[in-house]
Amino acid sequence: MGLFDSLKTKAVHEVGNAVRGAVGTAAQNAGNYSQTVTLQALPQNLAEMQAMPQADLQSPYGTAALTIAALCRYGESVDDCVQMLDFLRGPRPLSPMDKQFLRDRLVGKAYVPISYFEGTSPQNDYTPSVPYRITVKKNPYSEQGEDFLTLYVHSSGADSDRIVEVRRKPSTGQWFLWEAKCLSDIRVPVSADPWA
């Protein structure tokens, strides 16, 4: 085989590898989707939440965003937080065990839910930009049955995305909160870090 044939063969292999890589990337990205939800303010109580456009619960992304917004209220008013979460959970209100779980995860850690909004970081003590923006994502594995959806949100204090599961009520088309698996520990704010 001459030099020309050798170069030609090498070029064909490189093109083939590039095409396979592009097809693999396209297949991997198929089913990936993200939506940034903008909230003009964080609701302080159930009435304020119900007045928000996302409160019609027609979008699973809106429901996930309102879940994070409701959790942000826990540090100031547990009752308001619980009422908003009960609204988002529809016919399945929080159980005593759910409330204990919130207490275990959020007492003294009000920065955890706020860390999901744009502009936050451990360095700025998780201070979000206003209006409040949160990006909610799904991937090819997000659909867990016909009416269940696993969505992902990113905390600026964590290395991996966290989960918010929602469930659709077929009779109304509304998406309700099923599980908020987004309250794991994250990096502490710099102002609270004795090693910073």
Single pTM value for the model: 0.84
For residue 136, what are the β-bridge partners?
Answer: 35, 153
Where in the chain are the domains? 36-192
Helices (H), the chain: 3-29, 46-50, 60-71, 78-89, 96-106, 111-114
Within 10 angstroms of residue 116's Cβ, the number of other Cβ atoms is 32
Tell me how far apart the alpha carbons of residues 140 and 26 are, in angstroms, rounded to a whole number.
12
What pLDDT is recorded for position 152? 98
Residue type, 138: K
pLDDT at 2: 59
- Only one residue has tokens 């009779």, namely 171
Please list the ranges in the chain whose pLDDT falls under 50.
7, 15, 19-20, 22-28
